[in-house]
Structure 1
Amino acid sequence: MQVFLKRLSQQRERLSQLEMEVLEYILHHPDKVVRLNVDELAKKLFVSTATISRTCQQLGFRGFQDMKYSLSKEVFQEKQNMESSNSDVLSNHINRVQLEMESTLKSIAEGKIISAAKYIHESNYVEFFGVGNSLPPCVDAARKLMFSGKVTSAREDWDELRSVANSLSKDDLAILVSYSGETIYMLEYAALLKKRNVKTIAITGQQNNRLQQEVDLSLQAYVTNCYYGDLDMSSRFPLSVILDFIILTYLQQFKNK
C-alpha cells in the first residue's frame, strides 16, 4: 500500500488547497476512507462532494468510487500480508520473486528488445536515468555498455541528471528506468528530453504509467509491492533482466557488425 499512497502523494503539485486537504486525509487515514461514502467523507472534511470527486479525478481516477475501490484492494492486501504467519514469510517471498520473473519473461516482446538494441547502436552516447532504488540497475547496465566500448553514463545526482537532459541531442539515447513510472523527477527528465528530440526508452515495473506515454519505446517488467514497515523491499531485478537482454542483443546483433 505504501507504493500506492506514494503515487497519490506525488500528485500534490496539481491540487488546490481544498483538494490537498482531501488528499492528506486519504494518505493518513486509508482504513477510514474505505469505510465511508462520498457524503460521509465530505461532512467529515467540511468540503463539498464535488471537491472530493474533483480531487479523485486529479489523482487519475474516474471518481471517488474508483479511487475507493483501488484503495480497498491495497488495504485488504496489506491486512493479508500482516496476517501471514512467520512460517509462511520466506515461502511468500519466494513465490513473489518467482511470479515476477515468470511474468516479466512472458511479457517480453522480442521486437522491442531488438528495437532498443538498435537505438543503442545508432546513438553517439547513451545516458541512463534512474533515481532511488532504480539507480543500481542503471549503474550496472552503464558499466556493461562502457566495457563494450559504448560511451555511456549513469549519474546519481538528480540536478546533474536534469542538466544532462538539457544537453543531449537527437543523436543521443536516454534510457529511463523507473519502478512506478510515476516519479516526478523521471517525468520531468522525460519532458526535457522530448523537447530536445532525444530518443528515449522507458523500462518500468508497473503497468499503465505516465512515463510510458512520454517515450519513443516502452518495455514492461513486472514488479510487485513489498514493504517491511516503511522499508521498500520491492525487487528491481526484473528491470535489470530487461536491460541485460537489450545489451546482449546489441552486442550480438549490432556491435560486431
Structure 2
Amino acid sequence: MADKSAPAAAESQRQGSLIPRLRVSRPTMSRVDQAVTDYVLGNPEEVIPAAVADLATRCGVSVGSVVGFCQRLGFKGFSDFKIALAREVAESGLPTDRRSTSDLENVVEFHRLALAETMTLNPAETVDAVVDAILDAGRIEFYAVGVAHPVAAIASAGLTLIGFRANAAPDAHMQLVTASQLGPKDVAIGISPTGRVPETIRSLEVAKSQGATTVCITNSLGSPVANTSDIQLLATPADMDTFTTPLPSLVTHMALVDTIFVSLIRKARPQTAAYQQRANEYIQQWL
C-alpha cells in the first residue's frame, strides 16, 4: 500500500502558491478571512503598497483580523504576506484587466489561468503518490455525482484501457456498496469541486474505514472531501465569479486525470502498452 504520509512533505511546497491557495482555501474560511481574501484576490496590486490599517478598513475588519489572517496562512505577519504577494504577482505578470471583447478569448484565458494555478497547487511528489498508490492497487473505485461524474467515468475508462481494475458506479448507493468491498490494497478516488457533496464524502469515509487509500480531486482545501482523503489533488478555476456552476472545474479536473494517466503509462510502459495494443486490435475489428 502507498505511504499515506508521502504528500505531507509536498504540502509545504504548496505554500509558495499564494493566490491559488487562497482560492482553494476560501470556501472553508471564516467570514472575516473570506472578506480579506476577496479583497486580496480582486485587488492584489492595491494590497502590496497598503498599510495593514488601510487594508483592514477596506475589508471592513479589524487590524488584528488581518494579522491573524496572514498568520493562519503561515506568515509571520502582514509584511511577510505582502512580500509573498508581490513576488507572485510579479512572477505571474498578471495585468489588472484581462477582459477581452471576444467571449472565446475570455473563456480560453480563464481556462489557461485555471490550469496554470492548478499546476502550482500540485507538486510532483503529490502526483507521484497517487500514481504509486494506483500501481500497487488491486482495485480502483471512483466516487462522484452530478457534473463531476463524467470526469470519474472517463478516468475509469482510461485506467481500464491500460489494464487496471477501475470502476465508476453511476449510482450513489452502488458507490457505497463498492466502497464497502474495498480493502488495504485498493484505492478510492473522490471527485468533487465543492468538496461538500454528502454522497462522495460518505463513500470515501466507508472506503477509508476498510483500509483503502483515499484520494480526492477538489477545488476546496480543508473541505470534508479533502479532510477525508489521504492524498489531495487540488484544482482551481482562475476566477470564481466568471461562472456560477462547477462546469469550469471539468477542465482542470480532467487535466489532473490526464496527468495521472500519462504518469501511469510512463511508469508501467511494458504492461500498459500491451493492454492498449490488445484492446486496439479488438476495437479495430468493429470499425
TM-score w.r.t. structure 1 length? 0.63
Relative contact order, CA 8 A, sep 6+: which one is greater? 2
Q: Supply the distance in 2 between the matched residues of 1:106 and 1:115 (Cα, whole angstroms).
A: 16
1:210 counterpart residue number? 224
Q: How does 1:38-187 map to 2 (within 5 A)?
A: 62=30, 66=32, 69=35, 87=101, 89-187=103-201
Per-residue CA deviations over 1:92-111 (Å, capped at 9, x if unaligned) read: 32321121011112223111
In structure 1, the residue corresponding to 2:249 is in which secondary structure?
coil
In structure 2, the residue corresponding to 1:256 is in which secondary structure?
helix
2:253 to 214, 239, 242: 239
Q: Supply the distance in 2 between the matched residues of 1:183 and 1:116 (Cα, whole angstroms).
A: 22
Q: Supply the distance in 1 between the matched residues of 2:254 and 2:184 (Cα, whole angstroms).
A: 26
1:133 Cα deviation from its structure 2 partner: 1.0
1:121 Cα deviation from its structure 2 partner: 0.9
TM-score w.r.t. structure 2 length? 0.57
1:251 counterpart residue number? 265
Per-residue CA deviations over 1:202-228 (Å, capped at 9, x if unaligned) read: 111233322111111111122243676
Which aligned segments of 4 or more residues in structure 1 are displaced greater than 3 angstroms?
59-62, 67-73, 85-92, 224-228, 230-233, 254-257
Task: Give unpaired runs (5+ residues) of structure 1.
Answer: 1-58, 77-84
Comparing 217-226 and 238-247, the one that deviates more: 217-226
Change (3 A) 1:90 1:114: same
Change (3 A) 1:216 1:173: same
Task: Give unpaired runs (5+ residues) of structure 2.
Answer: 1-26, 43-98, 272-287
Per-residue CA deviations over 1:3-57 (Å, capped at 9, x if unaligned) read: xxxxxxxxxxxxxxxxxxxxxxxxxxxxxxxxxxxxxxxxxxxxxxxxxxxxxxx
Q: Supply the distance in 2 between the matched residues of 1:253 and 1:137 (Cα, whole angstroms).
A: 22
Q: Is the Cα–Cα contact under 8 Å of residues 130 and 176 in structure 1 kept in the other structure?
A: yes
Change (3 A) 1:227 1:61: closer
Letter matched to residue 139 of structure 1: A
Q: How does 1:1-16 map to 2 (within 5 A)?
A: none
Change (3 A) 1:189 1:91: same
Q: Supply the distance in 2 between the matched residues of 1:131 and 1:227 (Cα, whole angstroms).
A: 23
Q: Is the Cα–Cα contact under 8 Å of residues 143 and 190 in structure 2 kept in the other structure?
A: yes
Aligned residue pairs total: 188
1:225 counterpart residue number? 240
Q: Supply the distance in 2 between the matched residues of 1:129 and 1:213 (Cα, whole angstroms).
A: 15
Q: Supply the distance in 2 between the matched residues of 1:68 and 1:241 (Cα, whole angstroms).
A: 28
1:200 to 206, 214, 229: 214
Per-residue CA deviations over 1:180-219 (Å, capped at 9, x if unaligned) read: 1111111111211121111111111233322111111111
1:69 Cα deviation from its structure 2 partner: 3.5
Change (3 A) 1:66 1:93: same
In structure 2, the residue corresponding to 1:236 is in which secondary structure?
helix
Change (3 A) 1:161 1:216: same
Q: Is the Cα–Cα contact under 8 Å of residues 104 and 220 in structure 1 kept in the other structure?
A: yes
- For the aligned residue pairs, the C-alpha RMSD in angstroms reads 3.0
Q: Supply the distance in 2 between the matched residues of 1:107 and 1:175 (Cα, whole angstroms).
A: 18
In structure 1, the residue corresponding to 2:254 is in which secondary structure?
helix
Change (3 A) 1:157 1:105: same
Q: Is the Cα–Cα contact under 8 Å of residues 114 and 250 in structure 1 kept in the other structure?
A: no
Comparing 112-121 and 231-240, the one that deviates more: 231-240
Q: Is the Cα–Cα contact under 8 Å of residues 227 and 233 in structure 1 kept in the other structure?
A: no
Change (3 A) 1:70 1:155: farther
Letter matched to residue 148 of structure 2: S
Q: How does 1:18-29 map to 2 (within 5 A)?
A: none
1:35 counterpart residue number? none
Change (3 A) 1:197 1:255: farther
In structure 1, the residue corresponding to 2:214 is in which secondary structure?
strand
